[in-house]
Structure 1
Amino acid sequence: MHIHLFERVHKLERVRNRGRAKTGLHGLAVGLLLTLALAIGAKYLAVLPLLGVMGQLVLAILLGIILRAAAGVPERAAPGIQFSAKKLLRAGIILLGLRLNITDIIQAGPKVLAIAVIHIVFTLITVYLLGKAMNIDRRLGILTACGTAICGAAAVAAVAPQIKADDNEIAVSAATVAVLGTIFTMVYIAAYPLLGLSEAGYGIFAGATLHEVAHVLAASAPVGQQAADLAVIVKLSRVALLAPVALGLGLWENRRLRKQTAEERKDSRNSDVKSTSRSFPVPWFIGGFLVMSGVNTLGFLPGKLTADLLVLAYLLLAMAMAGLGLGIDLTTFGRLGRKPFAAGLAGSMLLSLLGYVLIHVMGLK
């Protein structure tokens, strides 16, 4: 009798476990489909003239925020939303490496690379210090600085795991940088006749100072093909520096945690900090990003396949951004976003001014 009872209990437990697994898979599928729908919607919205300047990634975040505010998010979709925000994000960043052709960047000349390096270093330091002066959370300040300096939402997404930023900080930083980039794009187009730059000089200026690749294309394409080509090459020179910046920030964060651990060593109960400080901050997806840029540079893949994989990269990144947006409450967004926007605005203005001066000093106008 006891044996039969044990068998029945064991059988019930197996049925429950199967039910939980089924529910988990169902939630994963629902969340993935939801973020996929938002990513596709963002892609089609990005075709529209005004919205196109913002780009698919930012529109995906905004659609996620709007959907949550208007209709809420089904609880069962949480596993799929989290999978999109974490796992698909990393996969998208790896494939994004296919945008880079190191040969094109080298052929553009040392002046172009020098401008990219100077701008990134200047912007990272300036926006971070502005954020510190305005009492912005350290991680939020770093993410806003990276998004402004390197390549917008993609840079924010790549750096966030290195400094252990949460979803609110990622979404606020990405949206802040995107809005700023959109404003500056429209200002650049209107100001082009007044800048006194050649088509080539304007292309270098736009590529060196605007935030997202979408902003660079939107600002340079109306001026001419030469401007657009040079703008993209200069912009990709900044994107190429994403990996070393992310690794550098990871090492800096690791060192900060070690120092913090040393100061708190007397408190033996603080085991979380001790274990975190031992981890080596080299994220596998940054390695994948570099491998993919090498694959593209060496021409291992046909052009059509590379183009298709890049479309997939932006789809995966858009799904990740949608997942982040679905986790953001508008009240939190409004509370966190004001100061980073002010710091990013000041940093962007200084970046544009520096870029304009460097174009003249280096004889690239």
Structure 2
Amino acid sequence: MRKYVHGLLLTLGLALTAQVLARVPVLSIVGPLVIAILLGMAWRAARGVTAGAVPGIDFSGRILLRTGLVLLGMRLHLGDVVQAGAGSVAIALADIVFGLLVVYGLCRWLGVEARIGMLTACGTAICGAAAVGAVGSQINARQEEVAVSTGIVALLGTGFTVVYTLVYPFLGLSSELYGLFSGATLHEIAHVLAAAAPAGSAALDVAVVAKLTRVALLVPVALLIGWWAARQERGEQQGEGWKKVTLPWFLFGFLAASGVHSLGIVPADWADRLVRLAYLLMAMAMAGLGLNADPGAFRRHGTRALTAGLAGSVLLSLFGYGLVRLLAYIQ
């Protein structure tokens, strides 16, 4: 284990720094995961990465990311998803499908590399950095591709959070419907919390449930994308891809943790501690990705992917707003 110590301590230090910086009011919108990846990139640019730190950095970027995703399941109470109602679940699912198809389609149309396009689409449509990490493992994405996509999604999510808070008074939505709109269309949980807060506690509660509904849908979506990627890579015929897809233990671990939390087996205070540990491990993973990221990758891939993500996010917001207005009309 000694060969991992140097790199693990480095990613831990960057992750803890990111969590402290995330408490600053302005930076809280960005969140600790994105700050961690930026700190990792800054460290690489300023200090470089020694050979002795590489094993621990790679361990953080792979194993700790998956472990953090499993523990993140302690944040999801499946009963909340059920109580949200069929309308809210349908809106979350429709937004995911729309976001995936539109952002990925725009990326490919603009000539963005397929894996970066898929990761950017998943981060936009589902749940930000967590979705990028989970799907990246399914499609064998390189670390620089994960870093590029995470940075794009973070930038877009932060910008749209500011826009949402500014346009909220003009949307003509009740606080609950605005919370549903925010939770069903914004990228990260941190973005959802920041955007919904000005509308009050009712909006915040609905927004969190809507966002966690999208998080719950990460598992089936990631499995389907993994199956699709396997078929694309191996050139298999229709219907044969399921036989060779590697089942991701961390996604099933996420569901298992959600089930344990939903059954109340783990006390609430311990569940909160495990969620905090999950974010620490994921922040270490993001720091590792930043330390391994090639700044040139952003210049090569980032501009077109950012353009596609921006256009897709605008369309997703308009689509989600239309669905929320339709739900209000039906009710």
The answer to whether the superposition gives a TM-score over 0.5 is yes
TM-score bracket, shorter-length normalisation: over 0.9
What secondary structure is seen at the aligned counterpart in 1 of 2:328?
coil
1:227 corresponding residue in structure 2 = 203
| Match of residue 310, structure 2, among 345, 351, 358 | 345
- Larger radius of gyration between Structure 1 and Structure 2: 1
1:156 corresponding residue in structure 2 = 132
Asked if residue 250 in structure 1 is aligned to residue 215 in structure 2, the reply is no
The question of whether the paired residues in 1 share the 8 Å contact of 2:148 and 2:297 is answered with no
Query: AA paired with 1:237?
Result: T
Asked if residue 192 in structure 1 is aligned to residue 180 in structure 2, the reply is no
1:290 corresponding residue in structure 2 = 255
Query: AA paired with 1:322?
Result: A
Q: Whole-Å Cα distance in 1 between the matches of residues 42 and 234 of structure 2?
A: 40
Asked if residue 119 in structure 1 is aligned to residue 84 in structure 2, the reply is no
1:15 corresponding residue in structure 2 = none
User: Once the two structures are aligned, what percentage of the paired residues are identical?
Assistant: 54
Runs of 4+ in 1 over 4 A off after TM superposition: none
Structure 2: runs of 5+ lacking an equivalent: none
Q: Whole-Å Cα distance in 1 between the matches of residues 76 and 30 of structure 2?
A: 22
Q: Whole-Å Cα distance in 2 between the matches of residues 183 and 95 of structure 1?
A: 28
1:69 corresponding residue in structure 2 = 45
The alignment's C-alpha RMSD in Å is 1.7
Q: Whole-Å Cα distance in 1 between the matches of residues 259 and 285 of structure 2?
A: 25
The question of whether the paired residues in 2 share the 8 Å contact of 1:68 and 1:329 is answered with no
Q: Whole-Å Cα distance in 2 between the matches of residues 319 and 326 of structure 1?
A: 10
The question of whether the paired residues in 1 share the 8 Å contact of 2:227 and 2:242 is answered with no
Q: Whole-Å Cα distance in 1 between the matches of residues 22 and 295 of structure 2?
A: 22
| Match of residue 301, structure 2, among 336, 342, 354 | 336
| Match of residue 240, structure 1, among 216, 231, 237 | 216
Query: AA paired with 2:229?
Result: E
Q: Whole-Å Cα distance in 1 between the matches of residues 78 and 321 of structure 2?
A: 25
The question of whether the paired residues in 2 share the 8 Å contact of 1:257 and 1:277 is answered with no
Query: AA paired with 1:352?
Result: S
1:201 corresponding residue in structure 2 = 177
The question of whether the paired residues in 2 share the 8 Å contact of 1:93 and 1:285 is answered with yes
2:148 corresponding residue in structure 1 = 172
The question of whether the paired residues in 2 share the 8 Å contact of 1:98 and 1:296 is answered with yes
Structure 1: runs of 5+ lacking an equivalent: 1-24, 263-275
Kindly tell me the number of residue pairs found equivalent between the two proteins: 328
Asked if residue 359 in structure 1 is aligned to residue 324 in structure 2, the reply is yes
Q: Whole-Å Cα distance in 2 between the matches of residues 34 and 203 of structure 1?
A: 38
1:47 corresponding residue in structure 2 = 23
Over 3 Å counting, the alpha-carbon distance change for 1:290 and 1:33 in structure 2 is same
Q: Whole-Å Cα distance in 1 between the matches of residues 237 and 221 of structure 2?
A: 24
What secondary structure is seen at the aligned counterpart in 2 of 1:196?
coil
Q: Whole-Å Cα distance in 2 between the matches of residues 39 and 216 of structure 1?
A: 22
Q: Whole-Å Cα distance in 2 between the matches of residues 99 and 247 of structure 1?
A: 21
The question of whether the paired residues in 1 share the 8 Å contact of 2:113 and 2:301 is answered with no
Q: Whole-Å Cα distance in 2 between the matches of residues 171 and 47 of structure 1?
A: 23
Deviation of the 1:196 alpha carbon:
1.2
Over 3 Å counting, the alpha-carbon distance change for 1:199 and 1:278 in structure 2 is closer
The question of whether the paired residues in 2 share the 8 Å contact of 1:167 and 1:324 is answered with yes
The question of whether the paired residues in 2 share the 8 Å contact of 1:220 and 1:228 is answered with yes
Deviations along 1:258-314, one digit per CA (max 9) or x if unpaired, are: 32699xxxxxxxxxxxxx997423111111011011111111100000000000000
